[in-house]
Amino acid sequence: MGLSINRRITTQFALAMLILAAIGVGSYYNTTHLLSTTRWVEHTHEVLERLNSLLHHIAEAESSQRGYLITGNEVFLEPYEASLPAIRRDLEQLGPLTSDNPTQAERLGRLEPLVSARLSLLKELIELRKQSGLQPAIQLLMVDKGKVLMGEIRALILEMEEEERAELYERYDHAEADTRKTLAMNLIGSLLSFALLALVFYLLNMEIARRRRAESALRETTSLQKAILDGGNYTIISTAPDGTIKSFNAAAEQMLGYPGREVVGKTTPALFHDPEEVARRAEELSKELGVRVEPGFEAFVARARQGGPDEKEWTYIRKDGSRFPVLLSITALRDDGGEIKGFLGIGSDITERKRAEETQAELLRELESANRELSDFAYVVSHDLKAPLRAIGSLATWIASDYADKFDEGGKEQMSLLRGRVKRMHDLIDGILQYSRVGRVKEQRVEVDLNALVREAITLLSPPPSVRVTVECSLPTVVCERTRMEQVFQNLLSNALKFMDKPEGEIKIRCEDRGEEWVFCVSDNGPGIEEKHFAKIFQIFQTLAPRDEFESTGIGLSVVKKTVEMYGGSVWVESAPGVGSSFFFTLPKRAFAQSGEPLGI
Amino acid sequence: MRDSAPILLVEDDRVDAMTVKRALKDINVCNPVHLVGNGEEALEFLRDDKAPRPGIILLDLNMPRMNGLEFLKVAKQDERLKQIPVVVLTTSREERDRVESFNLSVAGYMIKPVDYLQFVEVMRAINLYWTLSELPG
């Protein structure tokens, strides 16, 4: 754009100059022409004057001769004597004046003999008067030869005068036409160059405005850059390709404690780097890149040199010797040709982050240790609580059999209740272990065909002939922890079986693919649950039926909820008392990313 | 049980020991049962030349001083002891205990049932295994 506008300005300006030059040349030519016309006018006037003077002198000579002829007084001859040389002079001068015009020259050629003849006639009369007196002279005069001659001379001079005048008018006409042409040319040329110059002016103005805008944009950018450089909480240090520090921003000065003038011009790694760290990094990089990296500036830029920014943690040393960790991002600055012109290092103080990371690591360690303690606790519960419980159970059994004859019916019932409670206690402990194991114990994730898994669960629970369990559609294959998924289906199915109160039980298993997730449903036509208990049944140790009627720990559904939620799904129940219950749970497909395609639908 | 080889019962709980002995009696196994309270005592018994060499070891895992797994680590390094079949009898359902036990070449891993009658069934299974399985001479 700029280049083209410059070219346009130059072209148009040159054109305007050319036109002005043409006008100049034209005017010069015209003026010269006018000057020569003027000279011609003078020349014509001179010719006319000479012709007049010639005629006048001849007439004077004639009248002087007449005076003498009449009077015989020689005084009258004085003008005659005087006009003779004048006539000669006039004729002489007319020669060169008419040399340019052959017609005039020819006329002059004819005029000269006529004038000579006239003068000879005058002289003859004067001589005659001198020698023979008045009468013979008058007689000669009466012949009237002189008058004829004079008439011819006058006619010829008139002809010459007219010729000169005609020529003059022609010249005038030429000069006028030329002047008009020149004037028109000047006018058009001036208008044209005026237009061109106006255009150039407009273009220049536009260009100036554009440059002014660019300049102000540049000023803005510069001030923005300066604000970025000095305003941020980042150390920004630029170097030449060899590591000579070229700039050192305000934050760097403030954070490192060195004024810019103390470090600019020095070669980095400067005072604020740890030489040991630089050497260590150089060694690491040498191994990583497979080329020898010198423990110096190269340790910082070797990676950035290969393209792209490089980010690494470094230690900065303040002027007072204290240290702080920085995340230093190094970028190679390249010109249009891709050649490295320098490097830019932007560092941010990561002391806080480091501290936070340490705190986090500490918390994580604490959490892990707490988890371990919990795991150990569960293990202890499993073993240490169950051992005495088993002993109680065994002893109760032995007492009942060894001392059977010593117990009455009441004693026997109490012993039976005792063994029943031991069993319940044992189930509770197992339930707690199962619940605590969800999410705590890591298990291998494997591809599980849920169709097979559900079939196995049903077989394991061996439903009575009065209950029909059906899988209504094909279930997907998911990648999951097998035992967990078994627990989910087993718990839901065993609940449905356990509480079944209809002579013809129906338990149905369904699955629906909703794109992002699968929705599973285990429904039954059992007793159903009142809505007010919907939330309660998923809490641990919460049961609705009396424990003496249904042996239930209240853990099963809480394990289902915990497992499903661990996979990112949710679980809920829909139920109407007397009609049945449907337990729904979702499994988001992304939690089973490795292989989530439903099979054979 | 097989011949009349003695059984070494490594068990710290008196009632559990009684349970094992009673269950063996209930299924008519009359082999002598030697009871020791922990892994250390078991090693002591096994390395005592005067003591009889047991045909099978029934091992509890959770015991004071030296637990079952620690005992297994030592016993399975011992050329003279490593061929004696060891059946773990424990309350622990922990996967890691099971894995570790089998890594230490146990012949079986049985969970002690709470119900005595089921316990008797477990002892019957162990007896059957020990009777039918071919063992090194």
Q: Which residue is associated with the tokens 């629906």? A: A512
Q: Which helix (H) or strand (E) holds A473?
A: none
Taking 70 as the pLDDT cut, the residues of chain A under it are: 1-3, 270, 308, 379, 382-383, 439-442, 544-551, 593-601
Q: Which strand ranges, in their side-by-side order, compose the sheet holding A234-239? A: A245-248, A234-239, A340-349, A323-334, A310-317
- Is the Cβ pair A394, B62 closer than 8 Å? no
Cα Rg of chain A (Å, integer):
67
Higher pLDDT, B3 or B72: B72
- Note the pLDDT of residue A441: 66
The residue of chain B with its CA nearest to that of A387 is B91
Helices A450-461/A482-498 angle, 10° precision:
40
- Note the pLDDT of residue A574: 92
Residue B9 has pLDDT above 90, yes or no: yes
Q: Which strand ranges, in their side-by-side order, compose the sheet holding B7-10? A: B33-36, B7-10, B56-59, B86-90, B108-111
d(CA A192, CA A579): 103
Tell which B residues from 97 to 136 touch A, by Cβ distance under 8 Å: 112-117, 119
Q: For a pLDDT cut of 90, what percent of chain B falls above it?
A: 27
- Note the pLDDT of residue A98: 79
Q: How confident is the model at residue B34 (pLDDT cuts 50, 70, 90)?
A: very high
- Is the Cβ pair B114, A426 closer than 8 Å? yes
A386 contacts in B (CB within 8 Å)? 91, 114
pTM over the 0.90 mark: no
- Note the pLDDT of residue A600: 30
The residue of chain A with its CA nearest to that of B95 is A441
Q: Among B12, B13, B14, B15, which would you mutate to test the A interface (most chain A Cβ atoms within 10 Å of its Cβ)?
A: B15
- Alpha carbon separation from A50 to A43, A45, A159, A172 (Å, rounded): 10, 8, 14, 21
Chain A residues with CB-CB distance to B under 8 A?
A: 379, 382-384, 386-387, 389-391, 393-395, 397-398, 419, 422-423, 426, 430, 433, 441
Residue pLDDT, tens place only, B47-98: 888 888 898 999 998 888 888 999 999 988 988 888 889 999 987 777 788 8
Facing B114 at nearest CB: one of A382, A422, A433: A422
Return the number of CB contacts < 8 Å for A and B.
52
Residue B132 has pLDDT above 60, yes or no: yes
The residue of chain A with its CA nearest to that of B13 is A387
Per residue, the 3-state secondary structure of A390-457, as one string, reads: HHHHHHHHHHHHHCHHHCCHHHHHHHHHHHHHHHHHHHHHHHHHHHHHCCCCCCCEEEEEHHHHHHHH
Tell which B residues from 14 to 73 touch A, by Cβ distance under 8 Å: 15-16, 18-19, 22, 61-62
- Note the pLDDT of residue A578: 87
- Note the pLDDT of residue A566: 84
Ranges of H-type helices in A444-553: 450-461, 482-498
